[in-house]
Amino acid sequence: MFERKSGILLVAGLIFFAFAFLSNAVVPALMYSHLPEKTAEELVNGNIRYQFEDLARRYPEAFVAAFGQPPEDPETKEGTDWWNQNVADALREGRSIYVGEGCWHCHSQFVRPVSNEEQRWGPVAASWEYQNELQRPVMFGTRRVGPDLSREGGRRSNDWHAVHFFKPTMVSHKSPMPEYPWLFDGSPSKPTRRGMALMTYVQWLGSWLESYPDYEAYTQAPLEELKKEAAEAAEAAPAG
Amino acid sequence: MSEATETQTHDHKDLVDEKIVMAYFFMALTFMLVSMLGGLLMAGQLLRHNPLSGIELFSPGRWRMIHTNAIAYGFLANAFLGLLHWSIPRLTLHPVLDKRLSWLIFAAWQIVVLATAAGLLFGQAQGLEWGETPVWIDPVAQLGLLLVAINFMPPILKVKGPMYVTLWYFLAMFIWTFLTYAMGNFVPEYFVSGTSAGAVGGLFIHDLVGLFVTPLGWGLMYYFVPIILKKPIWSHGLSLVGFWGLAFFYPLNGIHHFLYTPIPMFLQYGAIISTIAVEMVVTTVIINFFGTLWGRGRAVVEDLPIRWFYTGMVFYFLTCLQCAMQTTLTFQALIHFTDWVVGHAHLVMYGVFSQWIFGMMTYLIPRIWKTEWYSRKALEYHYWLSAAGVFIMASDLILCGLFQGWSWASLQPWEHSINVSFPFWVVRVFAGLAMFAGLLVFLWNIWMTWKTREEVELSNVALPA
């Protein structure tokens, strides 16, 4: 058997290969068969909806040019469907840009239970988080030149991401990350559809967790009041 | 298997199509050049010195994928196909199935590689390492691999009686490569997602090295080393252990690329144990080859192909030893995600397999052109620049990985790990430039050999007249 063609073709070529495939690929697939694969539409949640609507507020013209005019009333069934469908489309598109630009070669998407990673990034990765169409193939990653991104969503604002994608060193002084100006129309304040899709994807990462930073409770800084107070103080000062 | 007995009954010209061997070599070296340029671009980017910054088609992220794919499918696959066209007909004494099919495969494969490069440049990658090949090329590549098997398997199957070791590796490889490519490029893309896709992805990365590159590399070593040393392989028993050990344990290793992921722990343990088993198998193969060298050690100094081969084998032993250690969970906690792994990958792909191929090219090119190398000194430069370059690069990155791992574990700001890496990344650029210079010297030497060869022929014609 060991030096015959049949032994080499059947035993080494086919049987050993099949044994490895069964034990190393079919077994985990069966083990997770009770977790159905979610579609991008099913992945839309409040957090990512918030981030996506935030894009529309921050870059109104670019947003309308990229995704069309949002419906007047987001509370109606029609309005909700419009937003959710666009978030799902942006997620799919953002993921394909994330893959096509090779982001996953320098950023991982799983937090390990060792090396103090829980403290740096948050909860350890769990299987159910990856059972969706955006993880086909899975974006675990094998190298971290930059930090892990699986808990990146909500940590930074869309503005930060826009500037960072445009020219990383503007916000992260020594970053070796490449620049991606082709995701913009010449300036960080004018992201294209691709740029906004990628931001949506990054803001989605970890949006399914309770530890997602709670931006919904965020209230605008009382800039106008502060200005008024400062003006009043300035007026009062020479008199006093 | 000596050349004298072979030529008595079989004409080398009827067996081997030398033109296609050289054509494959040229394409292989061209893609090596492209790959190295991509590597240099990425290395420059890490140092924030990228002259092409902000140009979409020169994005380092995309060129990083060209870097690895050009090596796997452009350099290694092309060079191996050329070497198969030389070794299989000479070993089996039967030509390949059809010479026209050979050229069709040659053309198809170049189209596959170029289309992959174009797809990657235009941002259509698929999210799996070494499987980035855009989805619309996958079926063509799969068909190409099928044709390769159809073209090369008939001469092997015609062999009567027991087969030589090399043919065991080749025969199994045709099956493995076809299945591996199908598994990696279709299963995680269309059928499974998430954690199970990770398991399949790990299997794919690993099988591509273990079941495509490794059997070709070792099969060719079993072919060329005894021919050049003019003595048989030391132990047939160890050859058997080496082949069957690789065939059984290597495919079981895949998941060790994703340790500490949500992949079930018992599967991770299985992959770790199999990896350590592979290291033991590798040790037997190395012993077998050094047993073969025993008594002819001087050849390492005098004979350049042998020097390339045995340098590669030493690196192979080192990478496998490193692998057996780094696959343990203790090591993984520190070195996973770091440049340690990048150093390891360069040591295997360049330090071992590329250097073996350089050795085989050094041996074959003058034989095919029926001339001497233009410059022995240039061959020495090629060897030293490449071997020293990759050794420095790998040690540098492996060490760098330790510092990165410690920096992350100590919870310092992320910038700290970048600052720590910086001097290592500088050294890496210079090591890479040395390897690049080695390749340029080799190309220059090939060019000069070709030019002076014509003069030799002319004078030969002139002499008898």
Question: Which residues of B fall within a CB distance of 8 Å from A115?
Answer: 333-334, 405, 408-409
DSSP H helices, chain A, are 5-6, 16-21, 27-31, 40-43, 46-58, 60-67, 77-100, 117-121, 158-166, 193-204, 223-239
Closest approach of B236 to chain A, Cα-based (Å): 11
Domain assignment present for B99:
yes
Range 254-283 of B in CB contact (< 8 A) with A: 254-255, 257-258, 260-264, 267, 270-271
Domain assignment present for B209:
no
- The answer, yes or no, to whether ipTM is higher than 0.85 is yes
Domain assignment present for B116:
yes
Q: What is the rounded distance in angstroms from the CA atom of residue B398 to the CA atom of residue B392?
A: 10
Contacts of A149 (CB under 8 A, 6+ apart): A103, A107, A108, A109, A202, A205
pLDDT number for residue A227: 76
Domain assignment present for B171:
no
What are the structure tokens assigned to A75, written together? 């509370």
Output the CA torsion B383→B386→B392→B396 (10° steps).
-160
pLDDT number for residue B465: 32
Question: Which residues of B fall within a CB distance of 8 Å from A175?
Answer: 418
Looking at the complex, does the CB of residue B429 fall below 8 Å from at least one CB of chain A? no
Angle made by CA atoms B34, B422, B41, in degrees to the nearest 5: 15
| pLDDT digit string (tens) for chain B, length 465 residues | 444 444 446 788 889 999 999 999 999 999 999 999 999 999 999 999 999 999 999 999 999 999 999 999 999 999 999 999 999 999 999 999 999 999 999 999 999 999 999 999 999 999 999 999 999 999 999 999 999 999 999 999 999 888 999 999 999 999 999 999 999 999 988 888 889 999 999 999 999 999 999 999 999 999 999 999 999 999 999 999 999 999 999 999 999 999 999 999 999 999 999 999 999 999 999 999 999 999 999 999 999 999 999 999 999 999 999 999 999 999 999 999 999 999 999 999 999 999 999 999 999 999 999 999 999 999 999 999 999 999 999 999 999 999 999 999 999 999 999 999 999 999 999 999 999 999 999 999 999 999 998 766 655 444 433
pLDDT number for residue B3: 46
Q: What is the mean pLDDT of residues A110-121?
A: 94
Angle made by CA atoms A129, A131, A133, in degrees to the nearest 5: 115
Q: Are B139 and B185 in contact (CB under 8 A)?
A: no
Domain assignment present for B62:
yes
Q: Which domain, by its residues, includes B142?
A: 1-161
Which has the closest alpha carbon to B60: B30, B40, B32?
Answer: B40
Domain assignment present for B311:
no
Mutant choice from B327, B337, B340, B344 vs A, greatest count of A C-beta within 10 A: B337
pLDDT number for residue B45: 97
The string of pLDDT tens digits covering residues A24-64 is 999 999 999 899 899 999 999 999 999 999 999 999 999 99
pLDDT number for residue A221: 54
Range 49-108 of B in CB contact (< 8 A) with A: 50, 53-54, 56, 59-62, 64-65
Domain assignment present for B150:
yes
Residue keyed to tokens 């979409």? B56
Name the domain count of chain B: 1
Looking at the complex, does the CB of residue A15 fall below 8 Å from at least one CB of chain B? no
Question: Which residues of B fall within a CB distance of 8 Å from A185?
Answer: none
Q: Is the pLDDT of residue A90 over 70?
A: yes
- Cβ contacts from A onto B, under 8 A: 229
Q: What is the rounded distance in angstroms from the CA atom of residue A192 to the CA atom of residue A80?
A: 23
A73 CB neighbour count, 10 Å cutoff: 9
Q: What is the mean pLDDT of residues A85-99?
A: 97
Which has the closest alpha carbon to B147: B190, B184, B101?
Answer: B101
The string of pLDDT tens digits covering residues A218-228 is 455 566 777 78
Domain assignment present for B124:
yes
Which has the closest alpha carbon to A51: A87, A79, A88?
Answer: A87
- The full 3-state SS of B294-341, as one line of letters, equals CCCCCHHHHCHHHHHHHHHHHHHHHHHHHHHHHCCHHHHHHHCECHHH
A68 CB neighbour count, 10 Å cutoff: 10
